[in-house]
A and B are shown apart, each in its own frame.
Chain A
């Protein structure tokens, strides 16, 4: 009798996991692939994340953001992997400083393609890319991002602010080079990802 009850409970938990968590697998994979760049590594990371989520699914609070919960697990799994592989990535001061050098707030360019926007995002330091994706693509709140990345909410806010500003600056430079920038007199001093300075005038 006890065995039947246990089997039934397992089936119910799996059904619940299938409904709540598995639909977010594609989102997890996109995020993993974006972060790691390698298809196999990304697939492994997603599967490890889902296995971990399955093991601790009883801790998931029904009615809360399951995607945010899964992304949090994925970041923790990734962090553990990097620690075990001794590849912990340390954010350098110079990367933080790059964002500070954007002195002028250019108008957001229009008429750009999705691919051009993604390319611009890719050119940002990774810690800015991830907060922008988590907020603007995955719709996570500052608090959820802070929990996923294990950083203070204030750091999330400042990284988001700098990341978005950098993205707009990057896009403005690109749009101006194509002659499709906004007809606003702007002068942006922007230090790119590799530290070179460029002036953009539209």
Chain B
């Protein structure tokens, strides 16, 4: 009898430990069954459970109805309006992300294009300037070209109209420094590249003005306007050059930077004008021929 009572006491103590978890439905199924079984036989624990349930109800009800815990209606209205404004005006993150990615891709593509273009131009310029210097050295200075130079007029008729009257274009400018003398003019070939070559002499130095065709497709972005004069140094020679839509013009010599550049600046207006006229005439002829061919 006493043993039974002690067992019952233990069960009541256990129940009090589990009662709240039982009310919260957080007990394991087996423990839940034991609690229910105990409740069927224990009046005190049933009362305790009812009291705890009532305590929770009062706690919840008191919390929900406490006057000092109520949100003011006018605040709720204003806050909702603010939230609605934010919700309906904000740009979705995903769209912003897409825009950022698209912008990044565009920038990368543009940079890539510029880098490729610049690299290509540098490579092309390196090959071209090497030919220019080679022609100046082998033709104007050492006279040892493999192929014999031909007359500019002949070359103009056969290969490139820009060569016709090139000498006049070079020498027509009054801006040429005093003391510049014409030595020779012809068309020559260095490493399969043809040049219109006007050879001058200034302060005892041989100066080459070299005009060569650069293919239209090798010249992206050109608008037909003469590019700015730039200069560089290669193999102890000074180079100054400028370009038109389809031609590059070089001034090469052993002069000082300023002297070499001053010759390039002096001839640039008339030579550019002359070459661009020749390019226009060539374009018209090409168009005429193609129309004739169609007919």
Q: Which B residues are CB-close (under 8 A) to A110?
A: 51, 54
> CB-nearest residue of chain B relative to A57?
B87
Given contacts A9-B92, A17-B87, A118-B62, contact A30 B69 (CB under 8 A): yes
Restricting to A102-123, which residues have a CB under 8 Å from any CB of B?
Answer: 105, 107-110, 112-115, 117-118, 121
Q: Which B residues are CB-close (under 8 A) to A25?
A: 71, 76, 79
Restricting to A69-121, which residues have a CB under 8 Å from any CB of B?
Answer: 105, 107-110, 112-115, 117-118, 121
Q: Interface majority SS on A: helix, strand, loop or mixed?
A: helix
Restricting to B140-155, which residues have a CB under 8 Å from any CB of A?
Answer: none
Q: Which of A60-68, A135-143, A188-196 contacts B (4 or more CB under 8 A)?
A: A135-143
Q: Which A residues are CB-close (under 8 A) to B61?
A: 114
Q: Within 8 Å of chain A (Cβ to Cβ): is B55?
A: yes
Complexed CA–CA distance, A25 and B16 (Å): 35
Given contacts A25-B76, A110-B51, contact A47 B82 (CB under 8 A): yes
Complexed CA–CA distance, A30 and B62 (Å): 11
Q: Which A residues are CB-close (under 8 A) to B83?
A: 17, 22, 47, 50-51, 54
Complexed CA–CA distance, A109 and B54 (Å): 10
Q: How many residues of B contact A (CB 8 A)?
A: 40
Q: Is the CB of B48 within 8 A of A107?
A: yes
Complexed CA–CA distance, A169 and B17 (Å): 14
Q: Which A residues are CB-close (under 8 A) to B90?
A: 10
Q: Interface majority SS on B: helix, strand, loop or mixed?
A: helix
Given contacts A22-B80, A43-B71, A110-B54, contact A161 B26 (CB under 8 A): no
Restricting to B202-248, which residues have a CB under 8 Å from any CB of A?
Answer: none
Q: Is the CB of A135 within 8 A of B24?
A: yes
Complexed CA–CA distance, A173 and B229 (Å): 100
Q: Which B residues are CB-close (under 8 A) to A22?
A: 80, 83
Q: Is the CB of A118 within 8 A of B66?
A: yes
**Partner of B51 from A46, A109, A133 at Cβ < 8 Å:** A109
Complexed CA–CA distance, A113 and B83 (Å): 38
> What's the nearest-Cβ distance from chain B to residue A194, in Å?
23
> What's the nearest-Cβ distance from chain A to residue B67, in Å?
10
Q: Which B residues are CB-close (under 8 A) to A115?
A: 62, 66
Q: Within 8 Å of chain B (Cβ to Cβ): is A168?
A: yes
Complexed CA–CA distance, A17 and B75 (Å): 18
Q: Is the CB of A10 within 8 A of B62?
A: no
Restricting to B28-86, which residues have a CB under 8 Å from any CB of A?
Answer: 48, 51-52, 54-56, 58-66, 68-72, 75-76, 79-80, 82-84, 86
Q: Is the CB of A107 within 8 A of B62?
A: no
Complexed CA–CA distance, A6 and B93 (Å): 11
Q: Which A residues are CB-close (under 8 A) to B295?
A: none
What are 22 A-B pairs with beta-carbon distances under 8 A?
A11-B88, A14-B88, A17-B83, A17-B87, A25-B76, A26-B70, A47-B83, A108-B48, A108-B51, A108-B55, A110-B51, A110-B54, A112-B58, A113-B58, A113-B62, A114-B59, A114-B62, A118-B59, A118-B63, A133-B63, A136-B60, A137-B63
Q: Which 5 A-B pairs have the closest CB atoms?
A: A114-B62, A108-B51, A29-B71, A14-B87, A30-B69
User: B-side interface residues toward A, CB under 8 Å?
Assistant: 13, 16-17, 20, 24, 26, 48, 51-52, 54-56, 58-66, 68-72, 75-76, 79-80, 82-84, 86-88, 90-92, 95
Instruction: With A6-B92, A137-B59 given, name 14 new contacts (CB 8 A).
Output: A10-B88, A14-B87, A26-B70, A29-B71, A30-B64, A34-B63, A108-B51, A110-B54, A113-B62, A114-B59, A118-B62, A118-B63, A136-B56, A137-B64
